[in-house]
Amino acid sequence: MRLRSDVTFVRFLAALPIIGVALIAWGATYPFYTDIDAAMELRRNACDANGVIEGWYEAMARFDTPRHEFMQAGLALALIAVTISVLSSVFGKKAPANKPAFFGLGYLGLFMAWFGYGFSFYIDMRRGVFPHCADTIAIPLAAQTIGYAILALLCTLFGLTLLIGFGTLPVRLDRWDADRKLRSHIVTGIFGAIALLGVVIVAIDATGSTFLAIPGTIVLIYVTLATRAALLAPANLNNIEE
């Protein structure tokens, strides 16, 4: 039964890039704008003496096609497959074998997400999403950097607190403590909700210019699931799971 599920999982991961290539090819059949000449004219006349002309963003939106959405979704599927494959090859179906690895993966996930969201500003700028008189992307990028630095600090403090409850590592990700059912339900409910939020974020980012942040989010989802398992891991060294 386990072998069959493993084969299904591998087939699922293999199918994602194939579907991704199909989406990219489909997206490439659409033009950049429904009316390229009118759109370029509007971009050239985006600003006046007071800045961006009123209604410019809405006017540009009327020329949009699903080209970028399809292509970004295709790339997102490929990134999802690669990220999950790497995590599976390194950790299998288990949490990390030592506590420092949790922090290392957490920081890595945050950095990858920060980079992906930051690079999305550059992508949007190159595509002309922002008018030529708009503020520099350095402003939102600086705000994002500060936000992620604060988030990293909070996650560090939260993680250090959770370490107290960790059991013996490594432990399977699907660990369930039958002897402490209430604890298992509470821990699974809390961290399951956090992981589900991560899945929603991945789905939202998949069709946007923020698709490059997806690998970081997936790493953070893995850390979340691994933390859940570690909190339910047995404390007795003789009960280490194979």
Q: Do 187 and 228 contact (CB within 8 A), yes or no?
A: yes
Q: What is the mean pLDDT of residues 53-82?
A: 95
Give, rounded to a whole angstrom, the gap between the first and last alpha carbons of the chain: 17
CA–CA separation, 16 and 78 (whole Å): 6
Asked if pLDDT for residue 240 goes beyond 70, the answer is no
Read off the pLDDT of residues 92-108 as tens digits, 9 standing for 90 and up: 999 999 999 999 999 99
Q: What is the mean pLDDT of residues 220-230?
A: 98
Q: Do 120 and 213 contact (CB within 8 A), yes or no?
A: yes
Count of helices and strands (H, E) across the chain: 8, 2
Dihedral sign (CA 186, 188, 189, 193) = positive
Residue with tokens 């957490």: 106
Q: Where in the chain are the domains?
A: 94-242
CA–CA separation, 146 and 225 (whole Å): 26
Burial of 187 (0-12, 13-18, 19+ CB in 10 A): buried
Read off the pLDDT of residues 13-31 as tens digits, 9 standing for 90 and up: 999 999 999 999 999 999 9
Give the model's confidence band at 213: pLDDT under 50 very low, under 70 low, under 90 confident, else very high: very high
Within a 10 A sphere around the Cβ of 5, how many other Cβ atoms? 9
Read off the pLDDT of residues 67-79 as tens digits, 9 standing for 90 and up: 999 999 999 999 9
Give the model's confidence band at 239: pLDDT under 50 very low, under 70 low, under 90 confident, else very high: very low
Residue with tokens 């979704």: 73
CA–CA separation, 98 and 240 (whole Å): 13
Read off the pLDDT of residues 35-45 as tens digits, 9 standing for 90 and up: 999 999 999 88
106, amino acid identity: G
